[in-house]
Every structure is written in structure tokens, then in C-alpha cells.
Chains A and B, each alone.
Chain A
Amino acid sequence: MKGLFMKDFLILKNQGKTILIVFAMGIMMSLTFEPATLVFYVGMLGCLLALSTISYDEADNGYAFIFSLPIKRKSYVLEKYLFIFVSTLVFLAISLLISAIMSLTGVYDIAILMEDLPSMMLVLFVTLTLVCDVMIPLRLKFGSEKSRIYLYLFYALAGILIFVGQKLFPSLGVTVVNRIAATPAALIVGIVAVFAIVATVVSEKISEKIIMAKQF
């Protein structure tokens, strides 16, 4: 698995210019909008960059070569989830560090940053978990191009379900929001964490089945 990590790390490293642009854009957006925007933007784009290593593996019939290397197919899937998780954490850590430096030097208003950051991090965590847990199996199954279409269909379906739900139960949204507001923060974090772990384990098992059945 070490070799797979090295491969993905080097592919990501070769996108150095893109990464710099992501940070620059994040900083500019945080200066224009809220300070916490930097963490959200960099976390989101960083995760997507890590996800893009799947496209690099897929390009030019690359899977055949990768699976001729001394690895097991299951290791490939596990590594992909770990790599995306770890790289997103690194992107988040660097953006938090930049936010801290900006706050200490007085560029950001630390009070606003500290007020926005927890809820922003929670939303980001839920969003990224959803994106990754849906995107990874889709990309492994259908490839980069087709998976994008399926992802749009997935989000469209989710949107329709929310819309229909709102029409059928108009007060449901308000009730849910009120419930969330009334729930202790620690409990919300706990629920989100359990949800993320369960969703990720299910997603990883699905991805494993997909890759085990694939022929190249």
C-alpha cells in the first residue's frame, strides 16, 4: 500500500500550481466574504484534487498496469479512501494554519472566524463525506466521464426528494432546523461522526465489490 500512497502523493504533488491557485483563491475569497471561507474552499477543492487521482489511474488504460503491480485489489480501494481522507485533512490543517496566522497578524477578525468556523467545519465534513462516499464508487464503476452524469442525477434525485418532501410536509424543514438548533452541539457532532463512519464503511465495501469484479 506504501507504493500506492507514494503514487497518489506524487500525482498530487505534480498539481502544485493548481494547489497554489486553490490557496490563493481561498485567501482572496476569505478577504472578500467571511474569514472561514478559506477553510471551506480549500477543504472542498483539496478533497476534489485528491479524488482526481482516480481519474489519473483510469487514464490511458492505467488500471491494467496498476493491478499488475504487487498489490491486492482490496488494498487499492482502501488506500484510495485513506489517501483522500488524509490529504483532505492536510489541506484543512494548512488552511487552518493560514487562518491562524492571518488572525494573529490582524488581517482576519478572530472573533468572526471563531464564530463561523465550527459550523462551517461541520457542514464541510458532512458535504465532503457525502461527495466522497458517493463519488468514489461511482468513479470506480463508471469512470470519470460517466460518473459525473450519475453524480448530477444523484443530486437531482436528492433535490427532487427534498422538494417533494417539503410540498407534502410543509413544516418538516422548519421542524428539522428547530430540532437541530435545540440539540446540544456535542450530540450533533456525535451523530454526524457516526453517520460519516457508517456511510464511509458502506461506500468502501461497495467500491471493493466494484473493483473486485472489474476486468481490464
Chain B
Amino acid sequence: MLKIKELKKTYPGFELSCDLEVPAGRITGLIGQNGAGKSTLYKCILQLCFADSGRIELFGNDLKEITEKDKQDIGVVLAESQFSSYITIEDAIQIMKCFYDAFDENDFRSKCRQFNLDTKKKIKELSTGMKAKLNVLLALSHKAKILLLDEPTVGLDVLARDDILAMIREYMAEDEERAALISSHISSDLETLCDDFYMIHDGKIILHEETDRLLSDYAIIKVSEEEYEKLDRKYLLKVKKEAFGYRCLSDQRQFYMNNYPQLVIERSGIDELIELMLRGE
């Protein structure tokens, strides 16, 4: 559905350089710190900024060949940009009807009622959570084949985040061919939603992994200095010095469980994975 090959985009003091693929029927996560290059990547895909080199394919076509009709099949949430805050939700409905042939007005209105979004209100009058829900609802309102969601849950409380993730899950379940690329720096959102994820740091993809494999095969091994010396390190991805000794990240949990049953071996969540990938050596 979306293929990015050897993409390069340079700003003063920053270079985005990445390869990425989002196949049909998959929800792909993009994780990374603020300033890692997530939003730049979305902007390149949406042609809001121009890549220096590389190739982006969407729906099997080069991005330059994407038509207005093709763009109707993309559902977008941008981290810091939305409809003018001076219009009402009712206005947004009228505008969406003009832009998208497949805009489902009845469904959108019923979802607005479900999430207590008053369509007579101006967007600037909505709370942060309500705005985020509206942005996601708009992206899901026109039967898009691919969702490009940049930080759809940013700044929200747990309940609002759950609502939004549930909306996305429900939307993806409606059609198995739909795909999504979702960025977030909240790992739990991605753990429960994504089939696979890319980790981006300083403009580069430093890890691509299936979420299931992450949760089953990745492990954090906590060892003293003595234990560390005796440890077989060939399956260690990163090691970080700690007060008690070392904290190690491995993608071969079973190997260490079988060979070092006396060690403290914990499953790795995305948070610890990020921390060790970025701070470990």
C-alpha cells in the first residue's frame, strides 16, 4: 500500500533517511522521540514537503502520479494542523461532503453524537480531547484505504486515548485491505494496536519489528558485573550500565531463559526497548 525507499530529506542540522513499508491489512506503528523525524516523514508522504531523493509509492504508484481522486483514499490526522478553528463541526461536514465522494454523513453525525461532539460548536471551542476525536473521526469518515495518523492521541488522558484507539481498531476491522501508519510516543497505544512498528531516531529507522515478536522474544536481562562477564553476549542488542551491574536487551529471550535460568529475565515492553535502543551501547 505504501512503500518508501531510500528517502532523504535534509534540513539544517537534521537529515531524514529511511525505508519503510506499510502493506495492506496492517497497522504499522512509528515510534520515536519528539524531533526524531516522524512528522517530516508524514509530510514527505503527503507532499507537504519535498524529499531530496528516494522514492515513495502509494497505491502502487509513484507519489508524483497520485491524483486528487487517489487522495480521497487517504485519511489524515496531522499532529499540529487541522481545519480552521473558526468554523463549526457542521461547516466541516459541508466541506467534507464537497471534498470526498465517499464521505458518510450519517455515520459521521452518529459518531459525533456518540462522542458528545456538538456539531454547532466552533472547533476552537472544543477541548483538546474533543478536537483529537474530531480529527480522527474526520480521517475515518470517507472510507479511506490508508490512514496516515501522526500523533492522533497526543495530549489526551487515558480514557480519551482508549476511545480513539477503539475507533481506529473498529475502522480497520471493517475492511481487511485497509492499512494504517500511526505515530505516537506513547508506547502502550502502539503495543495494543499495531501489527508491526518502526523505531525512528535522529531521522533514521533504527529498528523494525513485529509487535508479537517484540512481546514474546525480546527480553530485558538484569545482571551483576560478575554475571555479565560470564554471559554469552552474541544475542544482546544493547547493554546499559546500571548501579547494580548491567541491563541488557536481547531478541532471544528463550535462549537466555534456557541457558541462564538463574538470571532475572523480563519481557520487554516498548518503553524499555526504546530506552535501551537509544541509551544502550
Contact = CB atoms under 8 A, between A and B. Distances in A.
B80 interface: yes
B226 interface: no
A14 B76 contact: no
**Number of chain A interface residues as a range:** 20 to 34
A69 B141 CA distance: 13
Interface string A177-216: 0000000000000000000000000000000000000011
Interface stretch (A23-31, A33-41, A57-65, A120-128): A57-65
Contacts of B46: 64, 67-68
Contact of B82 (A2, A7, A65): A65
Interface in B41-71: 43, 46-50, 68-69, 71
Contacts of B50: 215
Interface string B74-94: 101010111111111001001
B98 A70 contact: no
B43 A216 contact: yes
A67 B86 contact: no
Nearest to A71: B68
Interface residues of B, number: 30
Contact of A65 (B47, B68, B83): B83
B80 A61 contact: yes
Interface in A1-53: 2-3, 5-7, 10-11, 14
B84 A3 contact: no
Contacts of B85: 59-60
Interface of A is mostly: helix
Contact of B87 (A14, A71, A216): A14
Contacts of A60: 80-82, 84-85
A110 B11 CA distance: 63
Given A11-B86, A60-B82, A70 B94 contact: no
Contacts of A71: 68, 71, 99
B100 interface: yes
B71 A11 contact: no
Nearest to B72: A70
Nearest to A61: B81
Contacts of A10: 87, 91, 94-95
A57 B86 CA distance: 10
A11 B87 contact: yes
Given A14-B86, A61-B80, A64-B48, A7 B95 contact: yes
Contact of A68 (B78, B80, B84, B87): B78
A159 B99 CA distance: 44
A85 interface: no
Interface string B244-274: 0000000000000000000000000000000
A62 B100 contact: no
Contacts of B68: 70-72, 75
Looking at B48, B72, B74, B78, which has the most chain A CB atoms within 10 Å of its CB?
A: B48
A8 to B, nearest CB: 10
A150 interface: no
A2 B94 CA distance: 11
B98 A2 contact: yes
Contacts of A68: 46, 48, 71, 74, 76, 78, 81
Contacts of B91: 10, 14
Contacts of B71: 68-71
A215 B95 contact: no
Interface of A: 2-3, 5-7, 10-11, 14, 56-57, 59-65, 67-72, 75, 215-216
Enumerate the 9 nearest inter-chain pairs by beta-carbon distance, A residue then B residue, closest first: A3-B98, A3-B99, A70-B71, A64-B81, A215-B49, A65-B81, A10-B91, A216-B48, A2-B98
